[in-house]
Amino acid sequence: MALLAANLYPLVGVVFLGWDAFLLLALFWMENVVIGFYTVVKMLLVSPDNAGWSAKCAAAAFFCIHYGMFTVGHGLFVFVVFGGVSGDAFSEDSVTLWQKVIDYQLLWGALVLLISHGVSLFRNYIGTKEYRRIKVGELMQQPYGRVVILHLTIIFGGFLVMLLGSPVIGLLFLVVLKTVIDVRAHLREHDKYAPQKAAST
């Protein structure tokens, strides 16, 4: 339910707030940051039976560097190619783009993502005690399988939508496509660590 709620905000942005392809892809990129943050939280909450504090902290630090580089690279791609930002973060074009992000209420979307993924953490990871069954190494790999496939699809779709002038129907198609892929990945991810499956392995 929290996942679906997170995917409703892009619909609001497209239909009621006048978002274009850049704003939509920027919000999807922000979700990368949120996923990375909660992955670190999950690592630190892994049961002591599976990993000690030193191992968890070392894994979390490595993940921050590796995933951080991936996220920054992806963000630069979105902001430069779709947003038209130059290399100077404080140039007039860059400042105008950040003002656009604020004006079109994109930061509220980021807050919605933060809350929805937090609810998922408590309901699935803590509530069903996934933290007792999962290994730190598995957590490190988890975001990549979900994020890479999802955003490669979205970026190619974004190019097409941008070339067409960001029509509303194209943007809505991107939102629906992203939601379907995201929900399937979410269900598959948590089904793997369901209590009954863990008991039978």
- pLDDT digit string, tens, across residues 151-170: 677 777 777 777 777 667 77
Does residue 95 carry a pLDDT above 80? no
Per-residue pLDDT band for 63 (boundaries 50, 70, 90) equals very high
- 56: exposed, middle or buried (Cβ count in 10 Å: 0-12, 13-18, 19+): buried
Rounded CA gap, 4 and 76, in Å?
27
Q: Is residue 197 part of a domain?
A: no
Per-residue pLDDT band for 9 (boundaries 50, 70, 90) equals confident
Return the pLDDT at 91.
63
Across residues 184-200, what is the average pLDDT?
60
Per-residue pLDDT band for 114 (boundaries 50, 70, 90) equals very high
Helix ranges, the chain (H): 2-16, 21-45, 53-77, 92-103, 106-120, 136-163, 168-192, 195-200
pLDDT tens figures, 131-145 = 888 888 888 888 887
* Overall domain count for the chain: 1
Q: Are 150 and 181 in contact (CB under 8 A)?
A: yes
Q: Is residue 127 part of a domain?
A: yes
Domain region containing 83: 2-190
Does residue 35 carry a pLDDT above 50? yes
Q: Is residue 200 part of a domain?
A: no
Residue 86: CB atoms within 10 A of its CB come to 12
Distant-in-sequence, close-in-space partners of 163: CB < 8 Å, separation ≥ 6: none
Candidate from 13-17, 68-72, 186-190 with smallest mean pLDDT = 186-190
Q: Is residue 196 part of a domain?
A: no
Return the pLDDT at 201.
44
Q: Is residue 87 part of a domain?
A: yes
Return the pLDDT at 200.
46
Distant-in-sequence, close-in-space partners of 50: CB < 8 Å, separation ≥ 6: 132, 134, 135, 136
Q: Is residue 69 part of a domain?
A: yes
